[in-house]
């Protein structure tokens, strides 16, 4: 259940970032602009701090990675590659 919640958090994060850029008239370009620290913050909002404290550290870290990698995967699915001058 926590893994699905972490995936949903990551998906919502990617969608939020994309919507923000679209609302500014900007394209979704390049790599995902989020960080593991941001993934942790978002996950901690999902999992009440008291509940998070009861989770083993490795489980919490794994959930943070699931959140981040889900967001990154969805972002990259919709982003376009940056064009560099050659």
Domains of the chain: which residue ranges?
Answer: 15-78
DSSP one-letter string for 5-60: HHHHHHHHHHHHHHHHHHHTT---BSS----HHHHHHHHHHHS-HHHHHHS-HHHH
pLDDT score at 17: 93
pLDDT digits (tens, 9 = 90+) for 72-85: 999 999 887 655 54
Which residues neighbour 86 within 8 Å (Cβ) at sequence distance 6 or greater?
none
Q: What predicted TM-score, i.e. pTM, was given to this entire model?
A: 0.84
The span from the CA of 9 to the CA of 12, in Å, is 5
pLDDT score at 48: 75
């Amino acid at each position: 259940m926590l893994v699905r919640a972490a995936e949903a958090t990551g998906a919502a994060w990617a969608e939020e970032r994309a919507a923000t850029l679209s609302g500014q008239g900007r394209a979704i370009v390049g790599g995902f602009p989020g960080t593991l620290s941001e993934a942790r913050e978002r996950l901690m909002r999902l999992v009440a701090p008291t509940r998070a404290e009861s989770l083993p550290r490795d489980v919490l870290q794994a959930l943070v990675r699931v959140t981040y990698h889900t967001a990154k995967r969805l972002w990259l699915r919709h982003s376009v590659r940056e064009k560099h001058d050659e």
